[in-house]
Amino acid sequence: MTASREETAERLRRIMASEGASIEHNTKLINERHYAALDQLEDDRLERLRERARAIKEESIERLPELIDRLRERVEENGGTVYVADDAADANRHVAEVTERAGAKTVVKSKSMTTEEIEVNDHLEANGVDVYETDLGELVIQLADEAPSHIVGPSLHRSRADIAELFSAHFDLDEPLETAEELTTFARDYLAERIAEAEVGMTGANFLVAETGSLALITNEGNARKVVESTDVHVAVAGVEKIVPTLSDLEPFVELVARSGNGQSITSYTSVFTPPVSTPPLNGSDEREFHLVLIDNGRLAMRGDDVLEETLYCVRCSACLNSCANFQHVGGHAFGGETYTGGIATGWEAGVHGQESAAEFTDLCTGCSRCVNQCPVKIDIPWLNAAVRDRVNRTGDDSILDPLYEGLTPDAEPGGVDLQKRLFGNFETLAKLGSATAPLSNVVANLGPTRALAERLVGIDRRRDLPTFRRETLRDWFEARGGSAVARGEAAVDREVVLYPDVYTNYVDVDRGKAAVRTLEALGVPVTIPPVPASGRAPLSQGMIETARRQATTVHDALAGHVDEGRDVVVIEPSDLAMFRDDYEKLLEPDAFARLAENSYDVLEYVYGLVVQEGADPGALADPSAVGGERVAYHSHCQQRTLGLEAHSVAVLEELGFAVETSSVECCGMAGSFGYKSQYYDLSMAVGDSLAEEFEAMEYDHVVASGTSCGEQLGSVLPESGRPPHVVELIAPR
């Protein structure tokens, strides 16, 4: 490993050791509640809410300059003031002026990530003002002098014992605090005193309503209301993206934010103020004051940016954090930047703090896509990370290497791309070479000196088993057998399949390709396997978007004729199907994308359609008696689950008489190249161990998986079971 990779690996190990257990427990618990809360809504209602919320945010950002003006008018009509701050320094200067005019010695605050972003506490304290966080989690990290580890739960990395020890160190306690009730009771009483003595209360805002000048706060503690009601000067600090046009626009967000953030149908306190509030002043003032500080700090530049604008739709709910397997194990102190955490933090950090901040952690987003269906406003967070990664790649020093790389590498990237990313982004070329020279290539690759050199130069961890390339590819085998065993005119069904030869199936796991061919033929379907290049998944995962776009175009051109002639495209590897059905929307023209997206199928989805929906006879497929047992432990690939296709595999297995138990972890942790990289190997294995724990609690005769990476990871964390086959290998005719 290079020094940089060693440092990254050591930092991740240190954070996992010190914070991992608490982060994992808390995020997984919230994630489980999140799914349960969403289940309370019917699928069509949930989707309607998400679509409406997305539409409101799109409209709000499009109309943002107009809405800022409208909000200013309404707030001023209501008796408040509005200040639009260009950046953090401008905002802090204005807040300091407000507190100085108020003669404030003490400011109490409710939770606000935007005030974390501008570091207002530090600025006020430097000016002699005492600042107290009244949110319990924020109080904990203020006492610990730490940054938040989570957008919603800033102290989720801290255990109850940690917090008790922290309180004992900072407060003169009569006796130690141990239970959660004791800790919260003490904090409540302590903060009540701070609120009572404060002259200024500061809040953030979940939403701002341009129509009425109202401010919405969605919280689970009563501190925000106290901060507003118990001080005569209220300062609200919010990003300009928080504005929505009308009061009725709050409706879908009230239903979605609590479910997405905490797994609740509604938070304990959902408050809509139209400040200044009408409660009589408490400290002898003539009237209450309200000051709204709107923060630009890069947001107006993000608006109109073809990559970063979507970040402004974010409602800071944290669903993407809680559903991310990597985040569940390291939290935001590793998977985050100067302020923001998790996958969505890449957009925020690049927009408000600069691309360099995002570059520090964006590779922790593996593109597994489990966050996509969880986001209440449907932000494509994996694409956002890939696109920022692409920009980071293009900031490398290519002045020397570009002439060398030009024409010599199979990709379309500049010379400044990190060598590790370039290697994994060009896996198809590596696979072709490895297959053409197998078995010698496999022997040489696994020699001790070769592994040491690969780890040193490109960061391929020597502890990870390498793929074994096959000399005879799937296409070679298919041509040698004379093509399909089912002729067009003899087909039992009016269908014909083009089996997509993904890189791994074609050059490494040829047996699962053969199994897919035999399975489809057993159901009476003619199969063809044409020469089709890699889908672009490998370069996309490395942020090599132009290379991915070029490969996507080539794949479309190779398959378009087959689709136009009525053939169905069947895909074995879920990550490639996700390219066809999702990512190609951003890489191809609309008609080209639709052609592939609407005519491509997961192999088990296709078998399900033939057997369950169209009544094809499954008698030739393998049942439990043919394979030695009916109990199946099944791990569905993360992108397969995001596409909603796990159920098809389960249904086919059950149709054949198997008893299926599925895993619930969000991702296996291998994630394509991620688990090979030396700086991430330990994190990858930690995520994999969570999967292994689930399987060890099951009773099974067979372990099966639907993805390449899943099989590799399960083979590593469950070595006694060997590398599990794909589902289609279990059911293929013997």
613-626 per-position pLDDT tens digit: 999 999 999 999 99
State the helix-helix crossing angle for 590-597 and 545-564, rounded to 10 degrees: 60
Give the confidence band of 286 by pLDDT, cuts at 50, 70, 90. Answer: low
**Residue 238 is assigned to a structural domain of this protein:** yes
Give the confidence band of 34 by pLDDT, cuts at 50, 70, 90. Answer: very high
Answer with the one of 299, 316, 347 that is the final residue of a domain. 299
How far apart CA 250 and CA 507 sit, in angstroms, is 52
Half-sphere exposure of 312 (CA within 13 A, CB side): 34
The DSSP element (H or E) to which 627 belongs, if any, is helix 624-627
- Burial of residue 600, with CB atoms counted within 10 A of its CB: 0-12 exposed, 13-18 middle, 19 or more buried: buried
Count structural domains, the chain.
2
Tens of pLDDT, residue by residue over 535-566, are 999 999 999 999 999 999 999 999 999 999 99
Are the beta carbons of 34 and 263 closer than 8 angstroms? Answer: yes
How far apart CA 427 and CA 509 sit, in angstroms, is 15
Q: N- to C-terminal Cα distance for the chain?
A: 45
**Residue 321 is assigned to a structural domain of this protein:** no
Answer with the one of 282, 299, 316 that is the final residue of a domain. 299
**Residue 700 is assigned to a structural domain of this protein:** yes
Q: 269 versus 300: which is more confidently predicted?
A: 300
What are residue 633's phi and psi, to 5 degrees? -100, 120
CA 602 to mean position of chain CA atoms: 22
Are the beta carbons of 373 and 335 closer than 8 angstroms? Answer: no
How far apart CA 376 and CA 469 sit, in angstroms, is 42
How far apart CA 221 and CA 217 sit, in angstroms, is 11
**Residue 129 is assigned to a structural domain of this protein:** yes
Q: How far is CA 321 from CA 201, 235, 369, 709, 727, in A?
A: 29, 29, 12, 22, 30
SS3 of residue 569 by DSSP:
strand
Mean pLDDT of 181-206: 95
Mean pLDDT of 126-135: 97
Of the listed ranges 147-156, 283-292, 430-439, the one predicted with least confidence:
283-292
**Residue 545 is assigned to a structural domain of this protein:** yes
SS3 of residue 722 by DSSP:
coil
Tens of pLDDT, residue by residue over 657-667, are 999 999 999 99
Does position 167 have pLDDT exceeding 80, yes or no? yes
Give the confidence band of 282 by pLDDT, cuts at 50, 70, 90. Answer: low
> What six digits make up the tokens of 123?
């600025």
Give the confidence band of 174 by pLDDT, cuts at 50, 70, 90. Answer: confident
> What six digits make up the tokens of 237?
């600090």
Of the listed ranges 138-147, 157-166, 265-274, the one predicted with least confidence:
265-274
Average pLDDT, the chain: 94
**Residue 469 is assigned to a structural domain of this protein:** no
Are the beta carbons of 206 and 220 closer than 8 angstroms? Answer: no
Task: Kindly report the number of other CB atoms within 10 A of residue 504's CB atom.
Answer: 26
Determine the residue type at 524. Answer: G
Answer with the one of 259, 276, 299 that is the final residue of a domain. 299
Closest to 244 in 3D by CA, of 273, 206, 277: 206
How far apart CA 680 and CA 684 sit, in angstroms, is 6
**Can you give the residue range of the structural domain that contains 40?**
3-299
Does position 407 have pLDDT exceeding 70, yes or no? no
Mean pLDDT of 328-348: 98
Q: What is the pLDDT of residue 722?
A: 85
Mean pLDDT of 72-92: 98
Task: Kindly report the number of other CB atoms within 10 A of residue 655's CB atom.
Answer: 16
Tens of pLDDT, residue by residue over 512-542, are 999 999 999 999 999 999 999 999 999 999 9
Give the confidence band of 406 by pLDDT, cuts at 50, 70, 90. Answer: low
- Strand 600-602 and strand 243-244: the pairing is unpaired
Q: What is the pLDDT of residue 287?
A: 82
Are the beta carbons of 206 and 257 closer than 8 angstroms? Answer: yes
Are the beta carbons of 232 and 281 closer than 8 angstroms? Answer: yes
Tens of pLDDT, residue by residue over 92-127, are 999 999 999 999 999 999 999 999 999 999 999 999
What are residue 82's phi and psi, to 5 degrees? -130, 130
Determine the residue type at 559. Answer: L
Does position 398 have pLDDT exceeding 60, yes or no? no
Cβ-based neighbours of 142, under 8 Å, separated by 6 or more: 121, 132, 133
Are the beta carbons of 1 and 293 closer than 8 angstroms? Answer: no
Task: Kindly report the number of other CB atoms within 10 A of residue 481's CB atom.
Answer: 11
How far apart CA 193 and CA 188 sit, in angstroms, is 9
CATH number of residue 94's parent domain: 3.40.50.10420
SS3 of residue 247 by DSSP:
helix
Give the confidence band of 458 by pLDDT, cuts at 50, 70, 90. Answer: very high
**Residue 416 is assigned to a structural domain of this protein:** no
Give the confidence band of 493 by pLDDT, cuts at 50, 70, 90. Answer: confident
Are the beta carbons of 609 and 645 closer than 8 angstroms? Answer: no
Closest to 528 in 3D by CA, of 466, 468, 582, 483: 483
Give the confidence band of 679 by pLDDT, cuts at 50, 70, 90. Answer: very high
Q: What is the pLDDT of residue 400?
A: 45
**Residue 313 is assigned to a structural domain of this protein:** no
Q: What is the pLDDT of residue 277?
A: 75
Q: What is the pLDDT of residue 318?
A: 96
